[in-house]
Structure 1
Amino acid sequence: RPDPLYFFSISCLCCVMDSPYSRPDSPVSSHIWADQDSDEDNYQEDVLKEYPGLEEEERKEQELSKKRKRSEMDVEDNMSEENMKYFTERWSRPVEGFRRLNKIDEGAYGVVYRVKNLKTGHTVALKKVKIKKEGSRGEGFPLTALREVDLLMSCHHRNVVNVYETVVGRSRDEVFLVMEFVEHDLRTLMEQRSIRFTAPEVKCLMRQLLEALEYLHAHFVLHRDLKTSNILLTSKGVLKVCDFGMARYFTDPLQAITPLAWVLTLPYRPPEGLIRGTTPMEYGPAVDIWSCGCIFAELLSNKPLFRPTSEPHLLTLMCQLLGTPTDETWPGWSSLEIHQKWKIVQHPAGELRKRFPQGGTGFDGSRVCVTQRGGFGLLQDLLAMCPDRRITASEALGHYFFIESPLPASEEQLAKMLDPLPSLHMMERGHR
């Protein structure tokens, strides 16, 4: 006859095992569950033998996991007939519900128009996706457009441009993204309107840009094509990051993905993008931070930081301005393959301070926005040659630059500056 004390002991043991202190998420028991030498694997194998149905579920879960990973990887820049059918059937609202006003811009992956929504009367931007015809290389619906829709539909931040819906034309190769219309972009303001932003205005713009990047990076999104033409500015002084055609999700830990040589525009490409060339590489938010630093410098001097003619030329310009890296400033620099491909001349650091002096006039005689101690420090942190030593968007927002005098301008003050300027986005592209 079994001993009653035996049953009592078993009952107490079950209660203890089911207590909060014995669960994996309990801090008290975390050291037990983290033990790498436990018999957990053997236990799982025994369970699978006892319940064969679990093995089939485990296999299905692994297949789903593989599919999710494959969907995050870069694939050929075209879509199958199924994806094209998905777009034209799911989003069946016709483009005839919009009236064209003027063409805003045209790029490699689409044409953007300013249009009027005939139903609501609102002015919006309509981006026509360029779809390659049958028989051409990379035919079908471009992956860049699919990513742009997916990312922008899931991103909700005041400093990221909104995509409202997707509509279709009369034929199956006419797909349009309906986005919010924004009156200005930084490149047009600086180049065609010759706007020179003051220090408070630069601080206002940089704070908004960094807030957008902080949001995107917190949601594991890389933009990968930040430049002044992709930074919009509303008449109310609100900055908007646009054009997510090159954007993609990244992972933690980082995985090798598309080479930066295929995505980032050359003047805004970081040094690590030059070193690996067209080889898939691991990179993360630091690539956007470098581009942000180039935009910051452009806002200060009213001209691009670099004007390269090739990748080797860009690396030379970087080394001349920021100093050639060493093993101390970039661990492992001397062992990188780049030294076998290009001849890299040693340049001392210090030219960046000459380009952006505190007095307001650069070494080449050009006028630059007054760069205080905090401003120059932030510029250095954004443009650190070693990606691992580059500042993050969150760290940059807490930088001394934003609390030193003069303080950032408000969005209302920025809007007041923009008020007398007619929007070039409201004019036909060929008549600006």
Structure 2
Amino acid sequence: SSHVFLLPELRLPWTRASAAGPSSLTIGEGGFGKVYKAFTDRQQTVAVKIVEPVRCSDPSKLEMAVEQERRGFEILVRIRHRNIVQFLKTERSAENGFCIFTELIAGCSLLDLMNRLNKPFDEPAVRRFSHQICRALNFLHCEHIVHRDIKCSNIMLTHESVIKLIDFGLAKEIVSAAQGAATYTLGTVHFMAAELLLDDENDRLVYTPKTDVWAFGCTVFEMLERRPP
């Protein structure tokens, strides 16, 4: 089956493979959904992350989370940086599912690469990768954007050895809201700053550039040791 998505800025119909489509179109999978290769009518190839349908006992919380992520995504669509994946659009799908369209990156994540090599990276490689990651984070923070989930599995390396930050914790807040979480834990525990782990039901967790920097330090450790700190 297929579904047509319309990109307002370019007026292009987008066609994606459904979960029942050819397995060769599945290019990734995470805790919040699968990533597929998608095609446009102009023979462009993009990636689409399809977040599983979300069921929520409090629809108002879900709508609030969706609206907040939508506003954040509108900012991401406008940014352009060599070391950051290009975001294209989002779409709500049937039964509260969520689709995120980005450029298709020819390469693999740093985590996948370490697993293929069956060893951590050497120090020269870590320096090269870290330099590019820092450039991307500096750009984001100057634009008042926080990534929220820096780790090796969210950092792609292209076939031209270019680092690309991906994911940005998108859709995790929507799922957390649907599950009725008092606070939205968007990051990954081993990479989260201590202040994000405080159990305070009255306050929303605040992600800042400092929490990204902490996660980056943990990511450097992961690259050198092939395990989280």
Provide TM-score, normalisation by structure 1: 0.41
**Deviation sequence 1:145-202 (CA, Å, 0-9, x none):** 5255323202211111002344677x68565333111220011111344253222211
Instruction: Report the counterpart of residue 273 of structure 1 in structure 2.
Output: 196
Instruction: Report the counterpart of residue 176 of structure 1 in structure 2.
Output: 99
Matched residue type, 1:106: E
- Going from structure 1 to structure 2, the CA distance change for 1:228 and 1:143 (only over 3 Å counts) comes to farther
* 2:38 aligned with 1:115: yes
Maintained 8 Å contact 2:152/2:223: no
**Deviation sequence 1:303-351 (CA, Å, 0-9, x none):** 221xxxxxxxxxxxxxxxxxxxxxxxxxxxxxxxxxxxxxxxxxxxxxx
Map 1:139-288 to 2 at 5 A.
142-143=66-67, 145-147=69-71, 149-166=73-90, 176-182=99-105, 183-246=107-170, 262-275=185-198, 277-278=200-201, 279-280=203-204, 284-288=208-212
Matched residue type, 1:115: A
Which has more strand, going by share of residues? 2
- Going from structure 1 to structure 2, the CA distance change for 1:167 and 1:277 (only over 3 Å counts) comes to closer
SS at 2:36's partner residue? strand
* 2:25 aligned with 1:102: yes
- Going from structure 1 to structure 2, the CA distance change for 1:196 and 1:132 (only over 3 Å counts) comes to closer
Matched residue type, 2:26: K
Gaps of 5+ in 1: 1-86, 248-257, 306-432
Cα distance in 1 between the residues matched to 2:195 and 2:162: 32
**Deviation sequence 1:257-313 (CA, Å, 0-9, x none):** x998622211001122234544336552110001000000111122221xxxxxxxx
Gaps of 5+ in 2: 172-180
How far off its partner does 1:110 sit?
Answer: 3.6
Instruction: Report the counterpart of residue 174 of structure 2 in structure 1.
Output: none
Matched residue type, 2:103: E
Cα distance in 2 between the residues matched to 1:151 and 1:93: 21
- Going from structure 1 to structure 2, the CA distance change for 1:281 and 1:181 (only over 3 Å counts) comes to closer
SS at 1:104's partner residue? strand
Cα distance in 2 between the residues matched to 1:172 and 1:88: 19
- How big is the alpha-carbon RMSD for the aligned residues of Structure 1 and Structure 2? 3.5
- Going from structure 1 to structure 2, the CA distance change for 1:96 and 1:176 (only over 3 Å counts) comes to same
Cα distance in 2 between the residues matched to 1:188 and 1:95: 29
Provide TM-score, normalisation by structure 2: 0.72
- How many residue pairs are counted as aligned between the two chains? 206
Matched residue type, 1:224: R
Cα distance in 2 between the residues matched to 1:97 and 1:131: 16
Maintained 8 Å contact 2:90/2:99: yes
Maintained 8 Å contact 2:85/2:102: yes
> Based on CA coordinates, which of the two structures has the bigger radius of gyration?
1
Which has more helix, going by share of residues? 1
Instruction: Report the counterpart of residue 124 of structure 1 in structure 2.
Output: 46
SS at 1:156's partner residue? coil
Cα distance in 2 between the residues matched to 1:244 and 1:147: 14
SS at 2:85's partner residue? coil
Matched residue type, 2:223: L
SS at 2:168's partner residue? coil
Maintained 8 Å contact 2:149/2:188: yes
Cα distance in 2 between the residues matched to 1:283 and 1:106: 25
Q: 2:216 aligns with which of 269, 272, 292?
A: 292
Cα distance in 2 between the residues matched to 1:176 and 1:149: 12
- Going from structure 1 to structure 2, the CA distance change for 1:103 and 1:148 (only over 3 Å counts) comes to farther
Cα distance in 2 between the residues matched to 1:263 and 1:105: 19
- Going from structure 1 to structure 2, the CA distance change for 1:97 and 1:104 (only over 3 Å counts) comes to closer
Task: Point out which structure has higher relative CO (alpha carbons under 8 A, 6+ apart).
Answer: 2
